[in-house]
Amino acid sequence: MATRALLLHSDPDELLPLLVERCPDADWRAAATPDEVEPTLATHRPEVVFSIKHNGFPGPAHRPALAAPDVRWFQVGGSGRDHLGTWDPARVTVTTCAGVLAPFLAERALAALLSLATGLPGLLRAQAERRWSPTTFRPLAGRTLLVVGVGHTGGEFAARARSLGMHVIGVRTSRAPHPALDEVHGPDALYDLLPRADVLSLHVPLGDATRHLIDARALAALPVGALVLNAARGAVVDPDALVAELERAPSERRIAGAWLDVFETEPLPSDHALWSLENLLLTPHCADQADGWPILFAERFADNWERRRRGQDLVGVVRP
C-alpha cells in the first residue's frame, strides 16, 4: 500500500515530478497556500509531510500538518525549525535539510564580508553621485574572525575566511575541534572573545539562550572598527541596540558596519530604521537561495525517503 504524503510548497509543480519519480511508493497530495492545509490534511490524512516555508507560506501555516494525528515523519525544507513550536518525538520524527545550502549561504556571507571590509558600499554611493573618491581599506589577512555557532554553515564560512588569512575562533556548544578553526571555545567564553573579534559572524539557531544574544552589552564589547554579520535568525541580534550603535557619529561608533539577512519581523517594515543606515548591508532573507534551491531540498527528502524505505536512520533528525 502506498504511503500517503503531503507537500507543503507554494509551487508544487516545481517539485512533484521529481518526488513522484524518486518516491514511487508514495501517494502525493499538495497544499500550495495556507488555506489549503487544513482541508488537505482532513481528506488525505498524510503519514509523511515535506514542508517548505517562505513569506507567502509562512511557518505558522505549516504547524497543523506537524500536529496531524497520522503524521509520523515531517521533513523541513530548510535548516530552521523554530517556526514549528514543539512536538512529541515519540509520535513524529522531524528532520531538516541542515547543511544542504550551507556552501551557498557561506558564499554570500563572504561576499558581504568582503564588501564591508573593502568599503564597496561607500564606493557605490560615490559612483551613484558621479563622485571620484579613492579610498583605502584594511586587509582581512591577519585579522580575527569570531564564528558563533560552528555547524554546517558556520564551518563553511570559517573555511572560506581562513583561506583569506584570517585567524578564526569558533564558539560551539560541543567544544569539538574543527579543521577550519584555529581556536575552539564554549559558549561561556563569548564575552572573553568579543574584544578580539574584528569580525563577528553568527550562525546559531534561535532559542531562549540565543534570543538577543548580541545586545548593547555585546556590541560594546567588540573592538573599534568591528564588523557584524547575521544570517542565522533575526532575533539573535537586538535590532534596537544595533540601530543605536550604527547611528552613532563615526568618531563614537565601535561597529564599522554590519550585514543582516534575517530580521525579527519579515518582511522588514518599510519604515524600519534599518533601511536607512548607510553602514548596513541588508538582504531579504535570501542568503542561501542559490538557483534551484527547492530542488536541492527535494533531493534531500527523496534520499531520506529511500533510507526510510530501507529501514535506515534518517539524516537530519532534530528534537524539540
Residue that has been written with the C-alpha cell 515531517 in this structure = 74
Question: Which listed residue (233, 245, 300, 308) is catalytic?
Answer: 233
- Per the annotation, the verdict on 233 as an active-site residue is yes
3-state secondary structure of 57: strand
Beta strands 144-148; 93-95: pairing state = unpaired
Per-residue DSSP letter, 314: P
3-state helix, strand, coil in the chain (%, to 5): 35, 20, 45
Whether 184 contacts 177, CB under 8 Å? yes
Give dist(CA 92, CA 297) in Å, integer. 20
Instruction: Count CB-CB contacts under 10 A for residue 2.
Output: 11
β-pairing verdict for 226-230 and 167-171:
unpaired
Name the residue with cell 557619529.
Answer: 249
Nearest to 236 by CA among 273, 266, 210, 215: 210
Contact assessment for residue 116 and residue 281, using Cβ atoms and an 8 Å cutoff: yes
3-state secondary structure of 274: helix
Greatest Cα pair distance in the chain:
71
Instruction: Give 12's contacts (C-beta < 8 A, 6+ positions apart).
Output: 30, 32
- Is 272 one of the catalytic residues? no
Backbone angles phi, psi at 144, to 5 degrees: -110, 130
Given the residues 160, 285, 300, 308, the one annotated as active site: 285
Q: Is 278 a catalytic residue?
A: no
User: Choosing from 91, 138, 266, 309, which is the catalytic residue?
Assistant: 266
Task: Tell me which residues are annotated as active site.
Answer: 233, 266, 285
